[in-house]
A and B are shown apart, each in its own frame.
Chain A
Amino acid sequence: MASPRWFYQISGRWLPWLSLLTFVSIIIGVIWGLGFAPQDAKQGNSFRIIYIHVPASFLALVGYYIMAISGAIAIIWKIKLADVVMKSAAPIGASLTFIALLTGAVWGKPTWGTYWIWDARITSMLILFFLYLGVIVLQKAYSAQGLSNKAAALLALVGTINIPIIYKSVDWWYTLHQPATIKFTEAPSMHPDMFQPLLIMIIGFYLFYVTALIVSMRAEIIFRERNTSWVKELALNLKDKRPI
């Protein structure tokens, strides 16, 4: 169990369903958020950007923990699959962080009056983006794969301190960014008509994260095991069919 081969086979069975579920929930969330959620009394329609901005930021932070923890598991217990998770999580996390920064900038212009400001929230989020890029680059830094992975995992672990800083930055310091709308301890400070599509989008982004991670891990597994007999067999079996 927990071998790359085992994961490849079992994930192949889940993948079509997960992809379908991801697609359906994001489509519903997007249509609901763009067309059916009421506009905000103060911000008008620019508020609709929240349906991308909040789920992307959320998964960018969660994804960092997933990457760092699997990096630690790969270092300590030398589990191959954990290493594959770390490697696949980095570009997905970087993309989600980029989406969070971009949608934030585009939302900032009509609400704050500027695309960018160096406040604690936005700066720490930019640092997160660079941490993800650092992990991606370090994985390719040394010709010895083991050394590269170790260096990348260490950077990922050192960077975990940034996650609580991002999350609490709006409470610890004076920032232009407002405090969190969705809190762990109390009800969201948002009307239910607006919150329901947001919940759908957060679920959709979670599903997207899992699906994207699995798809990326499967490609990485095939690459790493390309010289093994089971991958060769799989490739030759796919020869007559259209490989997906």
Chain B
Amino acid sequence: MMFQFENFSDFIYMAGHGQYVWTAYSVSLIIMAFIFVMPLFRKKNIIQKIIKKNH
């Protein structure tokens, strides 16, 4: 197994397919990070409300 590209700019360009590949990967990973982090913030908010109410 070896790195398939000569250099970094080849890796970004991907022989013309870079725009499609990088769009697919980046948007997907951003969405995934978002659905993972959102409930953490939601939980934090709820707990802070409970703390305020019981202060």
* Any A–B CB pair closer than 8 Å: yes
Interface residues of A (CB under 8 A from B): 26, 30, 34-39, 44-46, 48-49, 52-53, 56, 88, 91-92, 95, 98-99, 102-103, 106-107, 109-110, 193, 208, 211-212, 215-216, 218-220, 222-223, 226, 231-232, 234-236, 238-239, 243-244
Please list the residues of chain B having a beta carbon within 8 angstroms of any beta carbon in chain A. Answer: 1-5, 11, 14-18, 20-21, 23-25, 27-29, 31-32, 34-36, 38-40, 42-44, 46-51, 54
> Which of B1, B3, B47 lies in contact with A238, CB distance below 8 A?
B47
In the complex, which of the residues A48, A56, A110 has the most CB atoms of chain B within 10 Å of its own CB atom? Answer: A48
Q: Is the CB of B25 within 8 A of A52?
A: yes
Residue from the list A34, A36, A88, A226 in contact with B25, Cβ < 8 A: A34
- For residue B2, which residue of chain A has the nearest CB? A36
A-B contact pairs, 24 of them (CB 8 A): A30-B29, A35-B5, A35-B11, A36-B2, A36-B3, A38-B4, A44-B14, A49-B20, A52-B28, A53-B24, A95-B32, A95-B35, A102-B24, A102-B27, A107-B24, A212-B36, A212-B39, A219-B40, A222-B46, A222-B47, A234-B47, A235-B50, A238-B51, A243-B47
Say yes or no: B46 contacts A45, CB within 8 Å.
no
Complex: A244 Cα to B48 Cα, angstroms: 11
Given A231-B50, A239-B51, A243-B47, A106–B1 Cβ distance below 8 Å?
no
The A-B contact count (CB < 8 A) is 120
The interface residues of chain A lying within 8 Å CB-to-CB of B47 are 222, 234-235, 238, 243
The residues of B that contact A92 with a CB separation of less than 8 Å are: 35
Q: How far is the CA of A151 from the CA of B36 in the complex (A)?
A: 26
CB distance from B9 to the nearest CB of A (A): 14
Write the nearest CB–CB distance from A190 to chain B, whole angstroms. Answer: 16
Complex CA distance for A101 and B5, rounded to whole angstroms: 28
Given contacts A35-B11, A222-B47, A243-B48, 15 further A-B contacts (CB under 8 A): A44-B17, A49-B21, A52-B28, A98-B31, A99-B28, A102-B28, A106-B24, A109-B20, A110-B17, A212-B35, A219-B40, A219-B42, A222-B46, A226-B46, A244-B43
Contact B46 A46 (CB under 8 A): no
Q: Which of B24, B43, B49 has the most CB of A within 10 A?
A: B24
Q: Which chain A residues lie closer than 8 Å to B17 at the CB level?
A: 44-46, 48, 110
Q: How far is the CB of A243 from chain B (nearest CB, A)?
A: 5
Q: What separation, in Å, do the CA atoms of A14 and B4 have in the docked complex?
A: 37
